Amino acid sequence: MRVDGSSTKLYFALALSITTLALLPAVLAVAGVLSGSADDYMAGAPIAIFGPTIAACVASAREGGRAAVRKLLSGLGAGRVGPLWFFVALGLPTLAYLVARALYELLPGDDGGPWFWPPGDAQHVVGAVLVPIGEEIGWRGYALPRLIARFGPLRASLLLGGLWGVWHLPMFIAVGTTDPAYYALMVPYFLAGSVMFTWLYQRTNGSLLLAVLLHVGAHLSNPGQSPELTPTAISTFAYVALALGLVAFDRPAFRRAPESSA
């Protein structure tokens, strides 16, 4: 893949700016600058969620016009991917959490909470589909192949994971997340999660659809819904352990670019 560094920088600048500006009123409400609750200012949330997609379309258009945008969006098609990978994408986040939750059960101390965290209402069900589409067209459809071409899969994963986490900051603030321990857990969570996404991307020849489904899988059982910190800590441990295992035992996946993005 021929990498346009300026367009990639434009993508990240736009993705972060669009989402931050869309949620800025809610953030200011949390800070007490605006009157009322953050919920009164969440009209921009849909724009915030699709910030990465909007940014990816703009950056793609800059690189190659409408044809480049069509090519980007065409990644949502099934392509040549074996059916087993669909189950892997949808089930891997939950499986990783269940293993970590089982290990936690062996330890003395606080209860780890439920083993499954499915969407609790219609809004979360819709979000489990729309959020992955709004994010992944940008993160794994546009940014990841360009970062892999420049830095290699592992470094690209860590760089993208860091920026992915920063992008979530206004969302966390807007919903009232203030616990410093939570933010500390989110650093390894997003770095390790990004490695997991890169592994699947590599093993499915750069499939954007499978990246979307992996993100959907993370929402099918999402411990982040818990008001307690323990499920989030278990989830972070699960992702870190999985990421380390993938890098250690599937090194070829982190040494090359998939054929479709070459």
Phi/psi at 88 (nearest 5 deg)?
-60, -45
In a domain, residue 7? The reply is no
In a domain, 58, yes or no: no
Range of the domain at 212: 76-261
HEC per residue, 209-223: HHHHHHHHHHHHCCH
Lookup: tokens for 187: 């650093």
User: Quick count: other Cβ atoms within 10 Å of Cβ 88?
Assistant: 17
**What's the pLDDT at 81?**
85
Which whole-number Å values give the CA distances from 109 to 46, 105, 229, in the listed order? 40, 9, 14
187 domain residue, yes or no:
yes
Residue whose structure tokens are 């589909």? 129
Structural domain contains residue 27? no
State how far the Cα of 107 lies from the Cα of 96, in Å rounded to an integer: 18
Q: What is the pLDDT of residue 259?
A: 53
Q: First-to-last CA distance in the chain? A: 5
Rounded to whole angstroms, how far apart are CA atoms 211 and 190?
15
Residue 178 pLDDT: 87
> Which residues does 71 contact at the CB level (< 8 Å), separation at least 6?
60, 64
Domain membership flag for residue 61:
no
The number of folded domains in the chain is 1
Burial environment of residue 205 by CB neighbours within 10 A (0 to 12, 13 to 18, 19 or more)? middle
Residue pLDDT tens, the chain, 262 long = 666 678 999 999 999 999 999 999 999 999 999 999 999 999 999 999 999 999 999 999 999 999 999 999 999 987 788 899 999 999 999 999 999 999 999 988 778 899 999 988 888 899 999 999 999 999 999 999 999 999 999 999 999 999 999 999 999 999 999 899 999 999 999 999 999 999 999 999 999 999 999 999 999 999 988 889 999 999 999 999 999 999 999 999 998 766 555 4
Those residues with Cβ within 8 angstroms of residue 63's Cβ, 6 or more apart along the chain or in another chain:
4, 7
Judge whether 149 lies within some domain.
Answer: yes
Residue 26: φ, ψ to 5°: -65, -40
Looking up tokens 């093993």, which residue turns up? 203
The answer to whether residue 168 is domain-embedded is yes
Establish if 171 belongs to a structural domain.
yes
Which amino acid would we find at residue 129?
Answer: V
Half-sphere exposure of 239 (CA within 13 A, CB side): 26
Q: What pLDDT score was predicted for residue 111?
A: 84
- For CA atoms 198, 200, 254, 257, give the dihedral sign: negative
